[in-house]
Amino acid sequence: MTEFIRKRTANAKNDILSGITVALALVPEAVAFAFVAGVDPLVGLYAAFMVGLITSVFGGRPGMISGATGALAVVMVSLVAEGNAMGAEGEELGLYYLFATVILMGVIQMLAGVFKLGKFVRLIPHPVMMGFVNGLAIVIFLSQLGMFKDANGDWFTGNSMWIMIGLVALTMGIMFGLPKLTKKLPEALIAILVVSAIVIFGNLDVATVGSFIRDGGGEGLKGGLPQFQTDIFNKVPFNLETIKFIFPYALILAAIGLIESLMTLNLVDELTETRGNTNKECLAQGGANIVTGFFGGMGGCAMIGQSLINIKGGGRGRLSGIVAALMLLVFILFASGLIEQVPIAALVGVMFMVVIGTFAWSSFRILNKIPLSDVIVLVAVSSLTVIFDLAIAVIAGVIISALVFSWENAKRIRARKRMKDDGTKVYEIWGPLFFGSIIAFNEKFDVKNDPDHVEVDFVESRISDHSAIEAIFNLVNKYEAAGKTIKLKHLSQDSKTLLYRSSPKFREVIVEAIDDPRYHLAENPEAFTKGLSEYKL
């Protein structure tokens, strides 16, 4: 028992300090995304607290931070606007449609976990992953540039700009230099405290968290505990029309949320050299959004920026995410006055360091060393992440990679032709037989000029899909229509199963009695391994 507790608390100090740092960084992000979505700042803060807490406790990736995100907020804008248009002026019906959508979004995400769809994140190629982190780093950087503007959207000028740049540079300098002196102190938290002290005691006129909220139309950070939203049932009619309205939004939000969460999970896996549970994370994200929707939050997903702040600060366990969520609630309830004094410049400096740490700088070094198709995927995903959103970018990257893979494999189909002593012509097929290679496969055969007896040898090939089955079926019919016999040899067991299931005709043309040792080795890798080991002995 003592050993169990010791292992669980070994990193407690780093988790707690890192969690406090993350909580500070969560405040302006949650507020900003709430403004983007067109809802009250507390709706974003409550989402950050509830989603962050639930996923930290039940999620599949300790150390990963979740909360309200910009990727979801940009989709919610039109949802809230359309919802408001359905009700009377000032009724804010869009807010309640948002809550209902977030609940349905959570249900979809939980279903993804129940049906174990999280494992499909493994199908995302490495160039897509690199493009994702590069694009996200650019998006985070561009989002922070808005902090260099005033309430009217104009860039700071004169002393205001220089003070802002100086404080941001000081924050980055502390975060860069402190680890070189000691690794026992969380550089992000120390940088925020130092810069905040300079601003407060130096009485500098700069933007703070409090002024940021008020400039956005909010009344301040202070609020109470999240309340169960009984008005959802009163204001949102639960009928087919409502489902038709909110379901497309819920589906898009669920997809974006899961893609961003699972890709962030993969990134944290690589940084910590550990393995998270994707399906468990799907369930946790879905459950968190259901609870958030019922208690007045705007929903959320994993946040790559805050997750990297946490990892960089030494946070590795669930405790870091729990502390971040609870500290955020403490800020809302008791420390709003102090948090409102934190300068925006300090938080911008932290996020700029996250950008530097997030961007895959190695992608520049490998551009001339990897296939052109991978370069195209990497650049395309980075660009689409910036132009559109993460979901579109990742899906496009996976589609491009899949098409390239199919095209390359389609070109690998080969056929060596030889004649046996009895006059039978043999076609020895190499390469995968699937929808992409069917045309090349058909071009290998000369039905009209071939002899009366033909064998097709599949010892170096596999039948992969329905297109391949149909191609072989048509080939057999052509030879039989020409009055010739055709036999299929050396088919793997799974290939024979597919063919037998599709048509009884194949039982007449497939040769079961095999005496070629190459076939037995291809069919039974264990036998090959055993034979190899015996040869070495």
* CA-based torsion, 230, 235, 241, 247: positive or negative: negative
pLDDT at 536: 43
**SS3 track for 286-338:** HHHHHHHHHCCCCCCEECHHHHHHHHHCCCCCHHHHHHHHHHHHHHHHCCHHH
Q: Which whole-number Å values give the CA distances from 278 to 117, 119, 537, in the listed order?
A: 8, 6, 43
SS3 427: strand
- In this predicted structure, the answer to whether residue 16 has a pLDDT above a threshold of 70 is yes
Quick one: pLDDT at residue 99? 95
pTM as predicted: 0.71
- Give residue 6's pLDDT band: very low, low, confident or very high (50, 70, 90): low
Residue 503 neighbours by CB under 8 Å, 6+ apart: 473
Give strand pairing partners of 417. Answer: 427
For the 412-536 domain, the top CATH level (class) is alpha beta
Structure tokens at 25: 């960084």
443 φ, ψ (degrees, to nearest 5): -70, -15
Domain spans in the chain, listed from the N-terminal domain onward: 2-367, 412-536
Residues 6+ apart with CB under 8 A from 223: 42, 45, 46, 332, 333, 336
Q: Mean per-residue pLDDT for 350-367?
A: 84
Give how far Cα 450 sits from Cα of 333, 417, 433, 441, Å: 85, 11, 22, 16
Residue whose entry in the numeric block shows the structure tokens 């993804």: 112
Tokens of 188: 């992000």
For 416-438, write each residue's pLDDT tens digit. 999 999 999 999 999 999 999 99
pLDDT tens per residue across span 160-183: 999 999 999 999 999 899 888 887
The yes-or-no verdict on residue 518 having pLDDT over 70 is no
Angle at 96 between CA 90 and CA 102, to 5 degrees: 145
Nearest to 138 by CA among 352, 397, 365: 352
pLDDT at 481: 95
Residue type, 297: G
pLDDT at 41 over 90: no
Note whether 166 and 344 are within 8 A (CB): no
How far apart are alpha carbons 117 and 105 in whole angstroms? 15
Least confident of 141-145, 148-152, 435-439, 532-536: 532-536
Is pLDDT above 50 for 326?
A: yes
Q: Which helix (H) or strand (E) holds 467?
A: helix 466-481
pLDDT tens profile 190-222: 888 899 999 999 999 898 888 877 776 666 667
With CA atoms as reference, report the closest residue to 306 among 42, 1, 24.
Answer: 24
Q: What's the mean pLDDT in 367-383?
A: 91
* Residue among 87, 97, 93, 50 at smallest CA distance from 227: 50
Residues 6+ apart with CB under 8 A from 452: 423, 483, 484, 485
